[in-house]
Structure 1
């Protein structure tokens, strides 16, 4: 059985573990080990995740398969982007799945959940960043109707960035 629910502070440890594992999958060949270790430590530490989960501007949702955490999403409502003229747009900052759950349609279910959530909250679209070599994610978002609107240098350390496409889906 597949279920989706909002994350709570009790989920912090699991979120940190899933976030680290899911981020490494598409990036492991492109980011040096030391840079990767520091990025994961800074981005998926329990303190940061707790601050975000308890912030009403952030929405974390977990997706489960038979009570096993398969992945999660993070959206931020009313998050402007310099390349989008509309206001009331949502940034989907994370849509992560563990590799063992690929191919089950879970990414689409979690995305549809976030899409409905954004529409319910009177948003006019969803935007996100995707690394230009994350071909699996790029194909997923293309099928969902997203359009490339710009490029962005995503910082992974104080000295390194990775080129990302800025994608947008207008409702």
Structure 2
């Protein structure tokens, strides 16, 4: 049974964290960057790497491995930063998500996507939009708008604004 809200073929950018394959709806992605040095900001959450300068805007960068409580990994030539739009409460925040490597853009038909499994009450999985199937492998589809709590997003926005330049917020025109 397909998940609600997906009625047409949708494109997703797939990426690796450890051996797992994750995906984000391509409409949420602004660009993919090679990893570059990140300016650390003191007193930020463990999953926040710091900030980067993206054409004059300060963009907070988060380590998705740390966000998902995965073991730390050294950066490699394949490490990338995916620039995504996160929308909460009619406000868009631009965030960089550091991943092990980007795999490909893939299309999924709604009948190739299953709802996220119920994992019990102790684990937070509301940011999993669904499970896509590519051949025999599952792809975890992320809901970027639910990836961060309101409080976490506020900390990320504050870190960007305290670094000395304008915070990367854009009003949602929709």
TM-score range, shorter chain: under 0.3
Larger helix proportion, structure 1 or 2? 1
TM-score, structure 1 normalization: 0.24
Larger strand proportion, structure 1 or 2? 2
